[in-house]
Amino acid sequence: MTSPDTRTRILDAAVELIARDGYDGVRLAEIAKRAGASTALLHYHFANRPQLLAAAITHSLDRERARAERRAHDQERSSPAERVADQIDFWLPISPDDVREWLLWSELEGRAVRDTDLAAALTGLYARLREPLVAAIAMGVSTGEFGPCDPEEAAAVAHALLGGMTVRLLARDPGLTLPAARDLAGRQVALTVGYAGRLPFADREVPTHVPDPGLEPAPPRRRAARTPRPGA
C-alpha cells in the first residue's frame, strides 16, 4: 500500500512526534507505528531522516497555509494591507498548531548549519514561506497602497524580524508578549513597505503568551537490560 493517504499519515505522525521528541529523539519505528505503516514502507517514501524532516515541515506549512487562506476568505480580507497583516499573524506562534510548526522549523534550522542537504531544503522552504508576503507587498506597491519598495527585500526584513521575535516567544522570554510582538511587527513592517497608518489586523484573540502545543506526553522508554558479565 503506497497510496497518497499513506504518505500523508506518515507526515502527520512525523509532525507530531518530531515536535514532541525532537529530531534526534524521535524513532522512525515510532513514526511508522503512529501512521499504521511498516518501517519498510516509511523508507519507501523517505530515503533518510533529513528528507523526512524537510517533508514534514513542507506538509505542515501547506496545511497551515490552507487554514490561513480559508480564514482570510471567510473574513473577506483581500486588500494588500490586510494580506500583509494576515501574514504577520501566520508567522507568529498564536495557536497550538503554529507552535508545533515552529518547533519543526527550529529542528531544521538548528541542523542546517552543518548539513548541506538540510541547508538546501531550508533555503527552498524559506522561499516558499515568503511567497505570499512578497505577493501581497508587490500588489500594494502596484496599487499605490504601499510606497516604492522591493517586495523581496521587504519580505526578507519581515522574515528576520518575525523569526527573531518568535525564538524569544518560544523561549518564554518574559520581556516579550505575543500582543507586543504583533504590534511591533505591524509597525515595523508598515514602515518597511511605506504604508501610512497601522496595518489592519484581523479581529482575533491573541493570547498573552505562547500557547501549549497540545502534544501528548512521550511514553517512558525502557532501557535495555544489561547482561551480567561473567564472574560479576
What CATH number corresponds to the domain at position 115?
1.10.357.10
pLDDT of residue 154: 98
Amino acid (one-letter) located at 146: F
For the record, the C-alpha cell of 35 comes out as: 501512521
Q: Is residue 54 part of a domain?
A: no
pLDDT of residue 87: 94
Q: Is residue 129 part of a domain?
A: yes
Distances (CA, A) of 22 to 104, 107, 136, 142, 221: 8, 7, 34, 43, 15
First to last CA, the chain: 50
**pLDDT mean values, one per 10 residues, the chain (232 residues):** 79 89 87 92 89 85 78 79 95 91 86 86 87 96 97 97 96 97 98 96 94 76 53 52
For the record, the C-alpha cell of 15 comes out as: 509532525
Q: Which positions ≥6 away from 178 have C-beta within 8 Å?
A: 92, 93, 94, 169, 206, 207, 208, 209, 210
Distances (CA, A) of 89 to 94, 95, 151, 218: 7, 10, 18, 30
CA distance 132 to 128: 8
Total tally of structural domains belonging to the chain: 1
Q: Is residue 139 part of a domain?
A: yes
Contact 149, 192 (CB under 8 A): yes
pLDDT of residue 159: 95
pLDDT of residue 118: 83
Report phi then psi at 75, rounded to 5.
Answer: -95, 5
Q: Is residue 57 part of a domain?
A: no
158: containing domain: 76-193
Amino acid (one-letter) located at 206: V
Q: Is residue 39 part of a domain?
A: no
Which pTM does this prediction carry? 0.81
Q: Is residue 85 part of a domain?
A: yes
DSSP state of 173: -
